[in-house]
Amino acid sequence: MKRHCISFERRKLLAAAAGGAVLGFPAIVRGQAGTVRLAHLTPRTGFLGQVGEYGFKGATLAIDEANAAGGVLGRKLELVAEDSVNPATAANKAAKLIERDKVVAIFGEINSASGLAISKEAKRGRRPFFNTGGNSDGLRGKDCNRYMFHVEANSTMYTRTVVDWLTEQGLVKGKRWYALTADYAFGHDLFRVSSKYLGEGGAINVGNDLVPTNTQDWSGYILKIRAARPDFVYSCLAGIDLTNFLKQYKEYNLPFPVTGGANDTALFWLAGIDSSSGFWQTTWCHAIDTPGSRAFTQRFRARFGHPPENQAWQDYIAVRIIVQAMAETKSTDAAKLIAYLEKGAQFDVLKPRKALFNARDHQLMQEMFVVRVKDKAQMQDKWDFFEVLRPSPQPGQPLTALQPSAGENACRMS
């Protein structure tokens, strides 16, 4: 296959067409016919649907920008999108996307149980699957497989980011905490990890309620919190459940602050600033001040009328990673793509430091960020929720600093 260079003037025209989007995308390789199909499989209805919709927007923007820059391997990218809904549906749709639609790779998902179901189909069908929303350490441990890569951070990364900060501020040692935990794989895993690090910091757990997904009435849980009188409430919740809890918790005007082991910005936007407070953590938010982050936020706002949040960023970055891998390997072959990703390729993820995959468990090693909910008077607009306090790991620390060790979370790649 012959590789053709693009002139500087041609690059400028492409950049203008994509709003500057060619930054970070590879050069074009011409000569192949047809399109390269990529699958976006994530929940867009149900209790995770609000978050999934942001992921879909991020993926759509990345596909359009890549195509405006000339596509990859001389071919346009085609996005095939499906609503995963639940683990059984996710597995069936993953199989269909591989067998009927002939997609090169799958990316998306938020529910860890659905992520596991997709990963099994990806392994069976020999297609890379980029998990952009499932936090469970188990997906990187006992349930890992060579076809699954994780753009989303794991539970340990989320937990250590916020707990380390709280510990340094003197808010953990000797403090009593009460947990609300989503009653499925994600919540159980997050509570386990959170208990470990909070316990090591000297905190005392005084309660943990397992909460069914899509819970509407939180009064019973809130009354139990009031009776327990903890020093803080710790969320291991996901999706719209976190939003609904924050709204109803505010109505009781309890003095116990709320923090948690995971955070999706959209859920705070839905709850509103009056129901939100405290220290949290995130993989990304539009307050991160890098040229790439500012440019991405500007393009996303122009397209959708509001800024992106962390799930939009994760799915956007997943597409960029897939495109870079195909361009650099000059191939859509799964074995070649996987080998490239495992050998230390670095990716611009719109943060101060570049990211790369850990070959041991395929976790994207990246910076996390400690954030604080702003005072209402400090907000510049209704989306301006978070002040970024610091990155984690901190400058000078290796990106492996937040990762569980092989002994803590063993992965055996098949």
DSSP string, 112-176: HHHHHHHHHHHHHHT--EEESS---HHHHTTT--TTEEE-SPPHHHHHHHHHHHHHHTT-STT-E
Give residue 25's pLDDT: 38
Element (H, E) at 236: strand 232-236
> What's 25's DSSP letter?
P
Give dist(CA 318, CA 152) in Å, integer: 9
Degrees (nearest 5) of the Cα angle 252, 258, 261? 145
Confidence of residue 33 (pLDDT cuts 50, 70, 90): low
Peptide bond into 393 cis (omega under 30): yes
Question: Is 324 within 8 Å of 70 (Cβ atoms)?
Answer: no
Which residue type, as a one-letter code, is found at position 94? A
Confidence of residue 43 (pLDDT cuts 50, 70, 90): very high
- In a domain? residue 185: yes
pLDDT over 70, % of the chain: 92
Instruction: Give the pairing type, strands 35-42 and 105-108.
Output: parallel
Q: What is the mean pLDDT of residues 50-57?
A: 96
- In a domain? residue 407: no
Give residue 14's pLDDT: 36
- In a domain? residue 58: yes
Give residue 74's pLDDT: 96
pLDDT in tens, 263-278: 899 999 999 999 999 9
C-alpha atoms less than 13 angstroms from C-alpha of 158 in its C-beta half-sphere: 32
- In a domain? residue 414: no
Average pLDDT for the chain: 92
User: What tokens were used for 170?
Assistant: 């003197």
Confidence of residue 243 (pLDDT cuts 50, 70, 90): very high
From the CB of residue 391, how many other CB atoms can be counted at a distance below 10 Å? 18
pLDDT in tens, 106-164: 999 999 999 999 999 999 999 999 999 999 999 999 999 999 999 999 999 999 999 99
Q: Are residues 293 and 204 in the same domain?
A: no
Supply the pTM of this predicted model.
0.90
For residues 42-54, b (16+ Cβ closer than 10 Å) or e, as one string?
Answer: bbbebbbbbbbbb
From the CB of residue 216, how many other CB atoms can be counted at a distance below 10 Å? 8
What are the φ/ψ torsions at residue 310 (nearest 5 degrees)? -65, -35
Integer-rounded Cα Rg, in Å, for the chain is 21
Q: Are residues 148 and 185 in the same domain?
A: no
* Sheet architecture: strand order including 35-42: 76-83, 35-42, 105-108, 129-131, 148-150
Q: Are residues 87 and 164 in the same domain?
A: no
Q: Are residues 143 and 247 in the same domain?
A: no
What lies within 8 Å, CB to CB, of 395 at 6+ separation is 352
Q: Are residues 120 and 20 in the same domain?
A: yes
- Predicted confidence (pLDDT) at residue 231 exceeds the cutoff of 70: yes
Counts of helices then strands in the chain (DSSP H, E): 13, 15
Closest to 367 measured CA to CA, from 287, 284, 260, 292: 284
User: What tokens were used for 229?
Assistant: 């009188």
Q: Could you tell me the CA-to-CA distances from 163 to 159, 167, 231, 246, 405 in Å, in that order?
A: 6, 6, 14, 20, 18
- In a domain? residue 2: no
Give dist(CA 29, CA 22) in Å, integer: 15
Q: Are residues 173 and 270 in the same domain?
A: yes
Number of domains in the chain: 2
Give residue 116's pLDDT: 97
- In a domain? residue 408: no
Q: Are residues 360 and 372 in the same domain?
A: no
Give residue 8's pLDDT: 32
Question: Is 267 within 8 Å of 212 (Cβ atoms)?
Answer: no
Q: Are residues 137 and 28 in the same domain?
A: yes
pLDDT over 90, % of the chain: 90
Q: Are residues 189 and 144 in the same domain?
A: no
CATH of the domain at 256: 3.40.50.2300
pLDDT in tens, 346-404: 999 999 999 999 999 999 999 999 999 999 999 999 999 999 999 999 999 999 999 99
Question: Is 135 within 8 Å of 155 (Cβ atoms)?
Answer: yes
- Predicted confidence (pLDDT) at residue 20 exceeds the cutoff of 50: no
User: What tokens were used for 408?
Assistant: 């803590």
- In a domain? residue 246: yes
Give residue 15's pLDDT: 40
Q: Are residues 270 and 235 in the same domain?
A: yes
Give dist(CA 160, CA 393) in Å, integer: 10
Q: Are residues 160 and 144 in the same domain?
A: no
Give residue 413's pLDDT: 87
Could you identify the residue written with the tokens 């995963």? 84
pLDDT in tens, 154-209: 999 999 999 999 999 999 999 999 999 999 989 999 999 999 999 999 999 999 99
- Predicted confidence (pLDDT) at residue 18 exceeds the cutoff of 70: no
Give dist(CA 170, CA 315) in Å, integer: 35
Q: Are residues 18 and 136 in the same domain?
A: yes
pLDDT in tens, 252-265: 999 999 999 988 99
- Predicted confidence (pLDDT) at residue 1 exceeds the cutoff of 60: no
Question: Is 76 within 8 Å of 104 (Cβ atoms)?
Answer: no
Give residue 27's pLDDT: 33
- Predicted confidence (pLDDT) at residue 21 exceeds the cutoff of 80: no
| Nearest-10 crossing angle of helices 291-304, 49-68 | 100
- Predicted confidence (pLDDT) at residue 16 exceeds the cutoff of 80: no
Residues in the chain: 414
User: What tokens were used for 288?
Assistant: 């991160």
- In a domain? residue 412: no
Give residue 179's domain range: 156-282+368-402
